Amino acid sequence: MNPTISVIIPCFNEEALIECKIQNILGQDYEGRLDIIIVDGGSTDKTLDIVKYYIDCYWKEQGPKLDDRILRLEKAPKGKTHQVNEGIHRTIGEIIFVTDVDAVMEPGCIRTIVEEFSNPNVAVVGACSVPDKAVFLDPLCWRVSNFIRCLQSRICTAPWVIATCYAFRKNLLSEYPDDVIADDAYFPLWANFKGYKTIYTDKTTVREVRNPTSWRQFFYHKHRKANALLREFTRFSYLMPYARPGWKVLFMTWFAFLILVAGWSYPFFKQDSCYRKTV
């Protein structure tokens, strides 16, 4: 029997995309119980109205089938970390999915990712991400990034996953620290240092529909992400001497790369700038 899965969807002023996201999650072909939690961070547009409409309609249509799919709304302070933590506290599933509103998952995405957890040493699983309608260099960056992390997860472990869609074992994480700004890096790094494995799978793909559409947005977005990753790598750097050999080499390589790419601006880092959407 397939495990119960909790899906956390953080959102804030997403009236343009939330309907598509709800349909995308409800359309997953996972044969098991899905606990879908939309966590709103104080939306001031029509996001809440749309979510409540779908919840009301879903209750009326499903009737006795509600045990298979549960759709509910929770509220939390603004900020993805706060919203994800609120979702974690409300979950009932053995495995927790976190997925952004602007991520369109393939119909078999949840099922494919859950299969990776058949290995008891796997703590986190992420999916390949591809951009939709972005500047031409962005798809190339994603293809290279996807290839590298998939290769790393086969050889040793992936250093991080992508926030558009990832999953983890609930019993290993009670909540994120309040100062986490790259949730897709914090827990994989923690798990890798604890001896667990992070999988970045190419068996399923998530399409990100909100991407940089200008060069200025592209470079700012990449620099912002590099700063967020650098902060999380710095957080765990004190554990480097105690890491297993393969992970130690991988961690040191990426840490040096991030310092080279984003380190010059690290003293000017601001937490808010690494969470806000730029496009």
- pLDDT (tens digit, 0 to 9) for every residue of the chain, 279 residues total? 789 999 999 999 999 999 999 999 999 999 889 999 999 999 999 999 999 998 888 666 665 455 578 899 999 999 999 999 999 999 999 999 999 999 999 999 999 999 999 999 999 999 999 998 888 889 999 999 999 999 999 999 999 999 999 999 999 999 999 999 899 999 999 999 999 999 999 999 999 999 888 888 888 888 889 989 999 999 999 999 999 999 999 999 999 999 888 755 555 444 444 333 333
CB atoms within 10 A of CB 56: 11
Domain spans of the chain?
Answer: 5-274
Phi, psi of 237 (to 5 degrees): -60, -25
Assigned token pair, 261: 């790419």
Query: Helix H segments across 35-177?
Result: 47-62, 80-90, 109-116, 137-155
d(CA 185, CA 234): 11
Burial of 149 from C-beta contacts in 10 A (0-12 / 13-18 / 19+): buried
CATH topology of domain 5-274: Spore Coat Polysaccharide Biosynthesis Protein SpsA; Chain A (3.90.550)
Does this model's pTM top 0.75? My answer is: yes
- Which of 195, 230, 212, 201 is closest to 277 using CA atoms? 212
